[in-house]
Amino acid sequence: MNKKFAIATLALSLLISGCASKPIGTGAAPQSPSAENVVPEPADLTGTWTQSNSMSDDSYQEAVIDNDIITINWVMNNGDTKSLYWVGSFEAPVNAAEPYTWTSKRDKKATENAMMVSGNDTKEFTFTENEISYEASILGTTSIVRLAK
């Protein structure tokens, strides 16, 4: 009997000391993470983006973001014809804050022989609400290009 009493006393004291280490009213169940504790991931902008505000179904701009490069082509003739417009640097977002803006530096060597290329040394891009936008100019006319995945 003494052994059973000693084991029961030890078990009871462990149980009581375990419960006493928790503040009263917090309960024994662990708290699940709330939305406040979850940090949103930055958007992944890699991949192919197509102009969503073109006035033509067979003529638009298309961008490909791969690693730290953004390449933009004028696409015409239902995709049978592509002309280089921009090759430049890309800086991925480091947090989920929007709008996210980066300044791309043109790769002059990659664009030096292209006829339809932007002559700007830099171009500002903005990502917000699942859309990338930037200004594009041709023959003195400037438009805002909007791209979507």
Q: Does 113 fall in a domain?
A: yes
Residue 63 has pLDDT above 90, yes or no: yes
- CATH number, domain at 125? 2.40.128
Q: Does 3 fall in a domain?
A: no
**Strand blocks (E) in 20-140:** 47-51, 60-66, 69-76, 81-89, 100-105, 122-128, 131-138
The arrangement of strands across the sheet holding 81-89 comes to 81-89, 69-76, 60-66, 47-51, 141-148, 131-138, 122-128, 100-105
Total domain count for the chain? 1
Q: Does 11 fall in a domain?
A: no
d(C-alpha 149, C-alpha 64), whole Å: 10
What's the pLDDT at 110?
A: 97
d(C-alpha 103, C-alpha 123), whole Å: 6
Q: Does 79 fall in a domain?
A: yes
Question: What is the extent of the structural domain holding 125?
Answer: 47-148
Q: Does 5 fall in a domain?
A: no
Q: Tell me: the pLDDT tens digits for 25-40? A: 555 555 555 667 888 9
Q: Does 143 fall in a domain?
A: yes
